[in-house]
């Protein structure tokens, strides 16, 4: 009797959508599908998956939206005939830092899920805070200052947790909720991350937080991978019992709940592997194994990341996380908030909303834009921290100017994004030998050309733009293998036979030289803005 193929499913609960990718044991993608929050679940009235609040700093998403999206996506998958009954393990990715606030009815409701009713109907009453603060929130400046004061400064917080106190990081969001909604905090039995919450739905119980996503909270001792005993009381009282355990990212967290077997047609022996953050999952999906392999993810936020054997925490920028694929390793990352939405705003204004026109216009100016530098802060920026939104332009002589021509503008936005990533990546120990591009914007060759020239390295593209859900599927396979043999299997063995990435573009040495020369002036301009000055 021939055995049926075994499949591995990765979910990605991202800012704007919920996606699924299924791979076979040879890592071939056999199925993909997505639900878009704004378009497919319009009753939640999100824009780009989120609600922006009137203060301009607070950003949340209705938590029940993610619950509804899981059932909707699974219904679509079943309708498509996706091989759900042959999925042997599921893992997932969640937008980092977002928190889910569960009350004392939550665990019972999760355990008792009945297949005859939707998740949304059964779980609508389990939240102590209905709207999850997400990574775009920058409203916790006060709480960050208090944490740094309590722990002995920014460098000390970075040494302990991997990052200085950071506004979107979950611990500071927890401190804010404790201070502003004390009754809701009191009524909270468990605080989950988006990642561990989605895993909780699947196992029908509270799922642990994995060490890689746990590092994005300012609460975990980065080296010990345990809750940092000094950080917890400086954040909120009786926090440890509300956070549950931290596990290594490859850990099997339990069997799939019967709800999904009965309602959606999974097999009863399907396992769930700890979910992790979207950037950690992308690191897995992009198979970043060699030092010098850096990923550049071009999405709602732009991130640059790679693996390190020793963390180099910095008080001024970037983040160190635990590796999602090696319990002894680390990953370094920088995150820019002004990514796709900022590029698109310039495209809409200067190139009539068309990428084709944008690319044609880009070819009309030389690399370096004749010394022009533009810094576009549509949203308060994370790297470097620039709170004041606005657009800042400087001519070749370094003087502030009010505007650029349209062709100069399209080049300026890309060059400043990539120069900023080069500069700050270098500051956190990321030394590029090649870049692997992913995310929605990685399909644009003109954009990759600018990246290659700025960094001076070839740029490869992952076949699929969506590396987070793919990485989650790889991690499902990795966790499944580790459980099968009862020890940690090197992640490299999981992808040993996968098709290599395609090289999209080689750098042009002359153009790279122009950017290297421009970088010192770019750094000065950026530093002045981050320090509160403006053009």
Q: Which stretch binds ligand 5FX (CB under 6 A): 30-38, 221-229, 271-279, 393-401?
A: 271-279
Q: Is 135 in the site for ligand 5FX (CB under 6 A)?
A: yes
Alpha carbons 91 and 471: distance in angstroms, whole number: 9
Q: Which two tokens stand for residue 251?
A: 């850990």
Task: Kindly tell me which of 335 and 412 has the beta carbon lying closer to ligand 5FX.
Answer: 335
Considering only 78-86, 274-282, 322-330, 499-507, which stretch makes contact with ligand 5FX by CB under 6 A? 274-282
Q: Nearer Cβ to ligand 5FX, position 86 or 442?
A: 442
Quick one: 210 or 278, whose CB is closer to ligand 5FX?
278
Which residue stretch of 79-87, 95-103, 181-189, 361-369 sits at the interface with ligand 5FX (rule: CB under 6 A)?
95-103
Lookup: tokens for 427: 């500051």
- x/- mask, ligand 5FX, residues 333-352, rule CB under 6 A, reads --x-----------------
Binding mask 46-85 for ligand 5FX (x = CB under 6 A): ----------------------------------------
**Minimum CB–partner distance for residue 451 and ligand 5FX (Å):** 17
- Before 119, cis peptide (omega within 30)? no
Nearer to ligand 5FX, 334 or 514 (CB): 334
Report the run of H or E that residue 226 belongs to, with start and end.
strand 226-227
What is the distance of C-alpha 326 from the center of its chain?
Answer: 18
Closest distance to ligand 5FX from the beta carbon of 95 (Å): 3
Smallest CA-to-CA distance from 284 within 495, 2, 499, 458 is with 495
Q: Which listed residue (12, 137, 278, 381) binds ligand 5FX by CB under 6 A?
A: 278
- Closest approach, Cβ 194 to ligand 5FX, in A, equals 8
Task: Decide: is 330 part of the binding site for ligand 5FX (CB under 6 A).
Answer: no
Shortest CB 142 distance to ligand 5FX, Å: 20
Angle in degrees, 0-180, between the axes of helices 170-180 and 141-151, rounded to the nearest 10: 110
Residues in the chain: 535
What residues numbered 300-319 form the site for ligand 5FX, per CB under 6 A?
A: 301, 303
Phi and psi of 164, rounded to 5°? -65, 170
- Please, what's the largest Cα pairwise distance for the chain? 76
Token pair 């530093």 is at which residue? Answer: 527
The least CB distance from residue 437 to ligand 5FX, in Å, is 15
Residue with Cβ nearer ligand 5FX (335 or 410) = 335
| Cα separation, 42 vs 32, whole angstroms | 22
Residue of 17, 63, 96, 172 interacting with ligand 5FX (CB under 6 A): 96
- The nearer residue to ligand 5FX, 27 or 298, going by C-beta atoms, is 298
CB atoms within 10 A of CB 397: 8
| Smallest separation (angstroms) from ligand 5FX to the CB of 197 | 14
Stretch that binds ligand 5FX, among 275-283, 323-331, 348-356, 434-442 (CB under 6 A): 275-283
508 DSSP 8-state letter = P
97 binds ligand 5FX (CB under 6 A): yes
Q: Decide whether 277 or 535 has the Cβ nearer to ligand 5FX.
A: 277
Judged by CB under 6 A, the chain residues 496 through 535 that form the site for ligand 5FX are none
Of 246 and 334, nearer to ligand 5FX (C-beta) is 334
525: nearest Cα among 428, 401, 427: 401
Piece in contact with ligand 5FX (CB under 6 A), picked from 48-56, 94-102, 115-123, 437-445: 94-102
Query: Are 444 and 304 within 8 A, CB to CB?
Result: no
Among the listed ranges 225-233, 272-280, 370-378, 509-517, the one in contact with ligand 5FX (CB under 6 A) is 272-280
Strands 127-129 and 226-227: unpaired
| CA distances, 221 to each of 211, 226, 227, 277, 343 (Å) | 10, 5, 6, 17, 36
Tell me 532's DSSP state.
Answer: T
Instruction: Round the CA-based radius of gyration of the chain to a whole number and report it.
Output: 22
CB of 278 to ligand 5FX, least distance (A): 5
Give the integer Cα–Cα distance in Å for 516 and 56: 35
Residues 164-223 that bind ligand 5FX (CB under 6 A): 168, 216
Query: Of 320, 207, 252, nearest to 475 (Cα)?
Result: 252
- Count other Cβ atoms within 10 Å, centred on residue 220: 29
Q: Angle CA(238)–CA(240)–CA(246) in degrees, nearest 5?
A: 170
Positions touching ligand 5FX (CB under 6 A) are 14-15, 95-97, 135, 168, 216, 277-279, 301, 303, 335
């Amino acid at each position: 009797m021939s055995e049926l193929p075994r499949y591995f499913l990765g979910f990605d609960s991202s800012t704007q959508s919920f996606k699924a990718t299924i791979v076979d044991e040879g890592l071939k993608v056999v199925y993909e599908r997505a639900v878009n929050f704004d378009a497919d679940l319009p009753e939640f009235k999100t824009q780009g998956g989120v609600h922006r609040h009137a203060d301009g700093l607070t950003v949340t998403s209705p938590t029940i939206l993610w619950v509804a999206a899981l059932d909707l996506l699974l219904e679509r998958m079943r309708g498509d005939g996706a091989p759900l009954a042959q999925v042997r393990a599921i893992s997932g990715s969640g937008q980092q830092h977002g928190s889910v606030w569960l009350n004392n009815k939550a665990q019972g409701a999760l355990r008792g899920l009945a297949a005859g009713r939707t998740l949304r109907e059964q779980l609508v009453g389990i939240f102590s805070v209905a709207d999850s603060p997400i990574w775009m929130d920058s409203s916790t400046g006060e709480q960050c200052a208090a944490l740094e004061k309590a722990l002995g400064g920014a460098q000390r917080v970075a040494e302990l947790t991997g990052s200085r106190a950071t506004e979107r990081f979950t611990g500071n969001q927890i401190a804010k909720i404790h201070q502003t909604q004390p009754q809701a905090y009191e009524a909270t039995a468990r605080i989950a991350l988006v990642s561990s919450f989605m895993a909780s739905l699947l196992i029908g119980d509270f799922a642990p937080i994995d060490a890689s996503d746990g590092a994005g909270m300012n609460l975990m001792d980065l080296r010990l991978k345990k809750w940092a005993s000094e950080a917890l009381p400086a954040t909120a009282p009786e926090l440890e019992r509300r956070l549950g355990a931290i596990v290594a990212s490859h850990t099997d967290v339990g069997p799939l709940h019967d709800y999904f077997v009965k309602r959606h047609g999974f097999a009863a022996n399907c396992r769930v592997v700890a979910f992790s953050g979207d950037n950690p999952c992308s690191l897995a999906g992009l198979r970043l194994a060699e030092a010098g392999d850096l990923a550049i993810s071009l999405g709602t936020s732009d991130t640059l990341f790679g693996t390190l054997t020793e963390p180099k925490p910095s008080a001024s920028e970037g983040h160190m996380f635990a590796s999602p694929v090696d319990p002894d390793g680390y990953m370094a990352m920088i995150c820019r908030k002004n990514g796709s939405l900022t590029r698109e705003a310039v495209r809409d204004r200067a190139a009539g909303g068309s990428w084709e026109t944008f690319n044609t216009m880009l070819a009309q100016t030389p690399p370096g834009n004749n010394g022009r530098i533009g810094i576009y802060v549509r949203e308060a920026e994370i790297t470097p921290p620039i709170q004041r939104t606005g657009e800042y332009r400087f001519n070749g002589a370094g003087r502030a100017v009010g505007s650029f021509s349209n062709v100069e503008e399209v080049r300026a936005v890309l060059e400043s994004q990539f120069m900023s990533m080069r500069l700050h990546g270098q500051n956190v120990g990321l030394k590029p030998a090649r870049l692997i591009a992913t995310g929605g914007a990685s399909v644009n060759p003109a954009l990759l050309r600018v990246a290659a020239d700025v960094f001076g390295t070839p740029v490869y593209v992952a076949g699929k733009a969506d590396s987070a859900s793919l990485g989650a599927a790889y991690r499902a396979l990795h966790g499944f293998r580790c459980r099968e043999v009862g020890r940690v299997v090197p992640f490299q063995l999981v992808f040993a036979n996968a098709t290599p990435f395609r090289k999209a573009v080689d750098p042009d040495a002359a153009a790279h030289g122009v950017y290297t020369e421009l970088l010192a002036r770019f750094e000065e301009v950026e530093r002045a803005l981050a320090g509160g000055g403006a053009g």
